[in-house]
Amino acid sequence: MSAGDDENTLPLKIETALVTAGRDTKAQKGFVNPPVVHGSTVLYPTVDDLRAHRGEFRYGRHGTPTTRALQQALMALEGPQCAGVGIAQSGAAAISTALLSLLKSGDHLLVCDNAYQPTRNFCNGILTRYGVETTYFDPMIGSAIASLFKPSTKAVLIEAPGSQSFEMPDLPAIASAAHAHGAIVIDDNTWATPLFHRSLEQGVDISVQAATKYIGGHSDIMFGTISANARTWPAISEGIRLLGVCAGPDDVFLAIRGLRTLAVRLAQHHRSALEMAHWLAQRPEVARVLYPALESDPGHAIWKRDFTGASGLFSIVLNPVAQTSVDAMLDSLKLFGMGYSWGGFESLIIPFDCTGYRTATKWEPGGPTLRLHIGLENVEDLKADLARGFEVLRAA
């Protein structure tokens, strides 16, 4: 037996499983990595086999040796509650596929008010047209969410923490209220990944990730995953099949490659982001840092209880200052790039404003808000870049 063979039955720590899971050395003819299988047609040896759809693989859209390697690795990462992993072409597709697979006309859905805006757009657009009603709730609601359930409530969608404003919902409390009403809990776990937040072990039924972010890790793929427990996997796998959801083999391969280094990358993102967050909290230009890993953050106790690490994404609230000064600061930065998405090796910064889309809560941060992704650069260089930017902010 070689390292990485799936017959390996030793109980493995997560960092080891990330390196070894989904590797079938013999099938890969000795190569460490799985082949990138570009394929639609799979040939059957006999007409009898064809009629019975008998074979390890049946059709490209339903799975290849490349997708199977990724699914096995992700199942090892998610833990024993994971009954299956669906693969989608983007994080947005993973979320819409999960919702379409579970809900039908007449159903009611609860969504946390800090959810990713395109998720809200999907609920307000397509789900409304299909007769599914969405109610948004305060992410800090906790077990009081019980009062929002109707007989028709089928699912609750949570993001922990929200990827702009970083409120940290009490996921176990919300999950137990949801389960008492027979509803399914979906968690967008993109920020923490299953490495830092084992959501399926905390009462979540479906854990969705924009693997575009940390699993890919290099800002070079669009990818989504849907990890489901035994209760929900039959509906999710049917939805994936009927909706025709799949992803291209090169992106699947890059997702596997990203997983192999996820533990070391996330540990560094955590260290660097925490150092940057502490440094920013001391700056006179900064009113508040929104990052649950900071002791001063209102979500810190929940983060400490439910998470084993924090990723590189957080936000800051600046003391009141003219928008033109903030813009001058942003334009002056050299290492922090401006662009959407995050989770790659590079540092990013964007201005954001939740005012326009919040409906259950009011977004009143008290000053201009910026979201930062702390990449893998040296933190002293990153501090110097922001310090220069703050000088521009003050001078403008």
Ligand X SMILES: *Cc1c(COP(=O)(O)O)cnc(C)c1O
User: Is residue 309 at the binding interface for ligand X, with CB under 6 A as the rule?
Assistant: no
Choosing from 78, 167, 187, 188, the residue that interacts with ligand X (CB under 6 A) is 188
Q: Which is nearer to ligand X, 212 or 229 (CB)?
A: 212
Instruction: Tell me the pairing of strands 153-159 and 184-188.
Output: parallel
Closest CB to ligand X among residues 153, 212: 212
Between 72 and 212, CB nearer to ligand X: 212
Q: Look up tokens 């922001």; give the residue.
A: 386
Residue 215 φ then ψ, to 5°:
-65, -50
The catalytically annotated residue of 213, 260, 265, 371 is 213
Stretch that binds ligand X, among 122-130, 206-214, 228-236, 280-288 (CB under 6 A): 206-214
Distances in whole angstroms, Cα of residue 103 to Cα of each of 30, 119, 155, 201, 249: 44, 15, 8, 23, 29
d(CA 308, CA 128): 37
Among residues 113, 116, 139, 195, the one that binds ligand X under rule CB under 6 A: 116
By beta-carbon proximity to ligand X, the closer residue of 20 and 164 is 164
Minimum CB–partner distance for residue 165 and ligand X (Å): 12
Fill in the per-residue mask, 233 to 272: x = in contact with ligand X (CB under 6 A), - = not in contact.
Answer: ----------------------------------------
User: Exposed, middle or buried by CB within 10 Å (0-12, 13-18, 19+), for 337?
Assistant: middle
| 154 belongs to the catalytic site | no
Pick the binder of ligand X from 210, 280, 290, 318 (CB under 6 A): 210
* Catalytic residue chosen out of the listed positions 6, 44, 61, 388: 61
Region at 100 (left for phi over 0; alpha for psi -120 to 50; beta for the rest):
alpha
Among residues 163, 111, 117, which one has the least CA distance to residue 132? 111
Question: How many CA atoms are closer than 13 Å to the CA of 63, on its beta-carbon side?
Answer: 16
Shortest distance in whole angstroms from residue 159 CB to ligand X: 6
Assess contact for 149 and 183: CB atoms under 8 A: yes
Q: For residue 165, state whether it binds ligand X (rule: CB under 6 A).
A: no
Which residues, numbered 323-382, are part of the site for ligand X (CB under 6 A)?
341
DSSP 124-144: IIIIHHTT-EEEEE-TT-GGG
- Which residues are near ligand X by CB under 6 A? 90-92, 116, 159, 163, 188, 190, 210, 212-213, 222, 224, 341
Which residues are catalytically annotated?
Answer: 61, 116, 188, 213
